[in-house]
Amino acid sequence: MVEVARARWRWWTVVLRGIAAIALGILSLLEPKDAFGWFAALFGGFAIVDGALWLCAGQSSFYPAATVSHAVVSLWAGSFALLAPGLTPFALLLVIAGWAIIAGGLELAMTAWTPGRDWLLGLAGALSVVFGVAVLLSPAGAMVLSLWVGAYGLVFGGLLVEAGLRLRSIAPRERDGSACGAPRMRQRARRTLNISSQ
């Protein structure tokens, strides 16, 4: 039962989220400290990628409502960071902190509710909540914010990559498919072929 529960989580979406977070962390630490617009676009792009991957994972989640909620929060935060006119460092700080606290809380809840879900994902959720609170309490400035996000992205991304690889090692020996709905489509196709051959 535990292995089946874990296998239902698409391990590759977790790994890709981790890679995206690591890229966010590295670029946040390397970016010019006065390039606030570039940093906002960087976070916005990351949040949209994260939301899209959560939508993919939602098809195999025990709690699709929580998973889709996570995706919506990420997509909204990313869109706001990219499209909001006159965005200030303080406004972006609030968006990032709110995103981290809500997303981390949902991650913790799904870890508690889902049997067999990897504990590293729960740890990543707790890290997000702590990060969000720390950002709220930190001085509002583009340089401080980029340093916080850089450190968070590296640690958070590392946890997700490790969790995804652990999930892959216990997943059934079958291809996940290149698209989000590929496994389900294959199952339907097999049922159709079995029915037609009878």
* pLDDT tens sequence across 45-100: 999 999 998 888 765 556 677 888 899 999 999 999 999 888 888 888 899 999 99
CATH classification of the domain holding 32: 1.25.40
Question: Domain range holding 82?
Answer: 2-197
State mean pLDDT over 35-45: 87
Q: Are the C-beta atoms of 126 and 108 separated by less than 8 Å?
A: yes
pTM, 2 dp: 0.76
> What domain count does the chain have?
1
What pLDDT sits at residue 178?
Answer: 47
| Confidence category of residue 174, pLDDT binned at 50, 70, 90 | very low
Which residues, other chains included, contact 174 with Cβ-Cβ below 8 Å and sequence gap of 6+?
183
Vertex 159: Cα angle to 48 and 148 (nearest 5): 65
The span from the CA of 24 to the CA of 157, in Å, is 9
What pLDDT sits at residue 102?
Answer: 95
